[in-house]
Structure 1
């Protein structure tokens, strides 16, 4: 069977992953295979493999070329929380030759492991020159301090819904949902520290009202690119066309950070209306690789 035939089978039917790990990993590393195909392979394998096997496959599939795919691998490993991926993620976090977007995703993934020994490892990056790495390390350490009952940051745990850590969104998010009201959450969203802004964002997301949407839109005015990228991510998962114009503005802003623009593209793909598709099609030749590849995946 040729590689192209195998890819077609991989994308359309169940393939025995255990017997084909090396073959699939080779395809993932092949620069001639489109990122759209690679991204779909990740999601298809997710539905057919055990968590442990998928974790092994992902670790063997690091491209060391596409920041988008490598950050997606780290993201998926953070969802799986398999012990066999911990050292791999630590290495990604520690490798200063890796793009900060990949390192950020590795740190965020480690923040999902209920292991207090990770706190001291991640704390080393609290003074990183890379803001994405530094801020993600701060959030991961705070999250781990709650998950592991260390609570070294003296958080008011009674105001945090720690049971939500395993829901669809919070596995991805380096914070917890707060039980505060709309008014309190709005205040935290604009005036809190980074951790408080994240928890407020999750609360505003769950309120799921027009007034909470309007507050979320203003998150792109925040000074933190990390927070702005999370705002874009949440918009995609809320999947409401009211965010299309805002996301389009972010995608088209050449002064915006790549990590934010890439997330805006992905979220436009999640919303998936004719309007959002047209916006993505107009940007297919974007000069920023991670933005362009995000668009390719969104319309694949």
Structure 2
């Protein structure tokens, strides 16, 4: 990627920041910028936090966290501190800061672990626990290896018994951080029993927790999770952050059944949900196509030039 010029990156940024473009094109531009990395890409992503789309801003924060670049900290900090931003966006900014893992963020996360928005507060509590884990050399623990390239909000548990992990997952008296660790261990197992256990996690009281279960199912791309995701998306009383993750997960699994489910919610009254379905259908189309990569805006802008 070192031969990509700054102007080409800026052109991709123009696609991302153009509200007249379809959301699916802007998503592809965002993930292209994430993959390219660097200061110019971060700048292009940061400029988009003035957009009206809560879904897009949520994904901006996610991508900045996954880039693991400390130069993204100032904008993520400002988003977390901005009470005018939707809690879904602020939560993702807090999670992104936890992913970057800078110990200097402790004071900020400690402040927002008591935020009036429960999703923001819980996210910052988990991020603080991750900082503690990193500081205590937790990376040296012998844990199950993730088959995914994502930086997770919590490491997997050291436990490998499904029944024990399932009990921890659903124990509302335990800290969310411990339950997240159980969740990621169950994800890494990817067995019938572990998928059923994760499906039970969609009944937890925390919307943040339920949304993470849906996200994990999206990573796994396992057809066995479709009934759980379908139920979450179809529940109009469910928190929109959960329904949006369920939609994107269905897009990643990309079966004909998933496509039919998603099409039914393209006109959902909640913008976050209907935009997620639009993006998810584009993801599904990609999964079923011979395209080399989803984040392909670099080639698209070259073709437009």
Aligned length: 278
CA distance in 2, matches of 1:43, 1:142: 28
Per mean C-alpha deviation after superposition, the further-off stretch among 100-109 and 181-190 is 181-190
**Superposition TM-score, scaled by structure 1 size:** 0.85
Alignment counterpart, residue 154 of structure 2, candidates 166, 175, 184: 175
Equivalence for 1:195: 177
In structure 2, relative to structure 1, the CA distance for the partners of 1:159 and 1:147 (3 Å cut) is: closer
**1:153-232 matched pairs, under 5 angstroms:** 161=142, 168-169=149-150, 171=151, 173-180=152-159, 181-191=161-171, 192-232=174-214
Q: Does 1:100 align with 2:87?
A: yes
CA distance in 1, matches of 2:206, 2:259: 28
CA distance in 1, matches of 2:199, 2:188: 15
Equivalence for 2:102: 115
CA distance in 1, matches of 2:88, 2:80: 10
1:128 Cα deviation (Å)?
A: 1.0
CA distance in 1, matches of 2:158, 2:140: 6
1:22 Cα deviation (Å)?
A: 4.8
* Alignment check: 8 A CA contact 2:10 2:40 kept: no
CA distance in 1, matches of 2:267, 2:240: 15
1:35 Cα deviation (Å)?
A: 0.8
In structure 2, relative to structure 1, the CA distance for the partners of 1:160 and 1:220 (3 Å cut) is: farther
Alignment counterpart, residue 76 of structure 2, candidates 48, 71, 89: 89
Unaligned segments of structure 2, at least 5 residues? 283-305
CA distance in 2, matches of 1:51, 1:282: 39
**Superposition TM-score, scaled by structure 2 size:** 0.84
Unaligned segments of structure 1, at least 5 residues? 1-14, 152-156
CA distance in 1, matches of 2:250, 2:148: 22
CA distance in 2, matches of 1:206, 1:24: 34
The structure whose RCO (Cα within 8 Å, separation 6+) is larger is 2
* Alignment check: 8 A CA contact 2:9 2:33 kept: no
Q: Does 1:129 align with 2:116?
A: yes
CA distance in 2, matches of 1:166, 1:135: 26
